[in-house]
């Protein structure tokens, strides 16, 4: 099997989620640092337009969205499982809620003026201005959770977490972390990066102790890789055989159809290609890039939409 290649940048909260999953799984991987904002020509060469961070590349297969990436890594290293049978449904449902609503609360709180300044004050003003404009376009059409609503949601759910940790458990659902922990953690990690306002978390001792345990998992063992080298790896590879998910489609588009896949909430940059496979959780699209060659780009079905071209 080809190396796992993580395309990410240090400030990305969803990338932090996957960095910790890689540490938990003790998977060795190559690390490609990508730009924080457009232009991202090498990312686009691999994904066809989807610019959400992170992405994971394995040869000529490219996986988009942290929810799908976590499942892929769990298949590569099944033990310890992110989805243990006793908690699989609960963990997955909590993770889905956290990746959407809890993340929105974390961003809404962290990006208040003082938090934003402490997070991005080291960058030149022109970089900050460009970042703000990039994110406006990226989140166009998506309501942003304001500070008051974000603070209320964080306070309410952190109080609930405190009550749960009071029984002595180490993680949200018991003695070992599940996907719920990684998804609940990364928005709070993002709040921690906004140092001027991060003191808000100090009132929740059980949760901050849990955050310390999560951070101690670490990011595993990685070696750096240039983005051009990653493109070369894709070009010299062939997509992995599909695992039986191809065939007659039960979805809106038949297998083999020319389709466009895009997120259904924000960052709606469609990726065009041929639908090669689908399962209950995943769509696989084949596309050909002049630099990266023939690729299979994988998307989760939840949170994404597909249409025929």
Q: Is the sign of the CA dihedral 282, 285, 286, 289 positive or negative?
A: negative
Residue range 203-210: average pLDDT? 98
- Asked if pLDDT for residue 248 goes beyond 70, the answer is no
Q: Please report which confidence band the pLDDT of residue 1 belongs to, taking 50, 70 and 90 as the band edges.
A: low
Mean pLDDT (the chain) is: 94
- Asked if pLDDT for residue 107 goes beyond 80, the answer is yes
pLDDT tens per residue, range 121-156: 888 989 889 888 988 888 776 778 999 999 999 999
pLDDT tens per residue, range 164-177: 999 999 999 999 99
Distance CA 286, CA 291 (A): 15
C-alpha radius of gyration, the chain, whole number: 19
Q: Is 58 exposed, middle or buried (0-12, 13-18, 19+ CB in 10 A)?
A: buried
What local confidence, expressed as pLDDT, does residue 245 receive?
56
CATH 3.40.30.110 for domain 4-79+222-308, yes or no, is yes
Task: Say which CATH class 85-216 falls into.
Answer: mainly alpha
Q: Please report which confidence band the pLDDT of residue 120 belongs to, taking 50, 70 and 90 as the band edges.
A: confident
Of all residues in the chain, the percent with pLDDT exceeding 70 is 96
HSE, side-chain direction, 13 A CA sphere, residue 186: 27
Residue in the block written with tokens 């999560």: 214
What local confidence, expressed as pLDDT, does residue 244 receive?
54
- Asked if pLDDT for residue 225 goes beyond 70, the answer is yes
Of 48, 121, 119, 112, nearest to 269 by C-alpha is 48
Domain segments of the chain as ranges: 4-79+222-308, 85-216
pTM exceeds 0.75, yes or no: yes
HSE, side-chain direction, 13 A CA sphere, residue 7: 29
Of 25, 42, 44, nearest to 33 by C-alpha is 42
Cis ω before 54 (30° cut-off from 0): yes
Structure tokens at 171: 């993680």
- Asked if pLDDT for residue 250 goes beyond 90, the answer is no
Residue range 53-60: average pLDDT? 98
Residue range 198-204: average pLDDT? 98
Distance CA 220, CA 214 (A): 13
What local confidence, expressed as pLDDT, does residue 169 receive?
97
Of all residues in the chain, the percent with pLDDT exceeding 90 is 85
Phi, psi of 102 (to 5 degrees): -65, -40
Bridge partner residues of 297 (DSSP): 62, 285
pLDDT tens per residue, range 3-40: 999 999 999 999 999 999 999 999 999 999 999 999 99
């Amino acid at each position: 099997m080809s190396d796992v290649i993580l395309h990410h940048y240090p400030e990305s909260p969803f990338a932090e989620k996957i960095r910790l999953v890689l540490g938990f799984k003790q998977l060795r991987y190559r690390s490609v640092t990508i730009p924080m904002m457009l232009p991202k020509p090498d990312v686009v060469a691999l994904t066809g337009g989807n610019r959400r961070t992170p992405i994971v590349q394995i040869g000529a297969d490219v996986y988009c969205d942290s929810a799908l990436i976590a499942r892929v890594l769990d298949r590569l290293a099944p033990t310890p499982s992110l989805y243990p049978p006793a908690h699989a449904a609960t963990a997955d449902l909590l993770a889905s809620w956290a990746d959407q609503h809890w993340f929105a609360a974390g961003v809404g709180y962290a990006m208040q003026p003082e938090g934003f300044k402490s997070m991005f004050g080291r960058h030149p003003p022109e970089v900050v201005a460009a970042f703000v404009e990039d994110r406006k376009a990226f989140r166009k059409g998506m309501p942003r959770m304001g500070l008051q609503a974000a603070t209320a949601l964080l306070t309410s759910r952190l109080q609930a977490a405190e009550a749960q940790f009071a029984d002595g458990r180490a993680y949200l659902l018991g003695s070992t972390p599940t996907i719920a922990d990684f998804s609940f953690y990364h928005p709070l990690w993002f709040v921690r990066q906004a140092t001027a306002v991060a003191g808000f978390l100090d009132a929740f001792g059980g949760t901050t102790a849990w955050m310390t345990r999560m951070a101690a998992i670490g990011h595993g063992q990685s070696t750096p890789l240039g983005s051009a080298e990653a493109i070369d790896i894709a070009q010299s590879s062939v997509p992995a055989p599909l695992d039986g998910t191809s065939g007659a489609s039960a979805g809106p588009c038949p297998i083999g159809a020319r389709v466009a896949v895009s997120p259904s909430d924000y960052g709606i940059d469609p990726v065009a290609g041929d639908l090669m496979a689908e399962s209950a959780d995943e769509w696989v699209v084949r596309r050909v890039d002049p630099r990266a060659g023939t690729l299979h780009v994988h998307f989760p079905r939840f949170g994404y939409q597909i249409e025929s071209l």
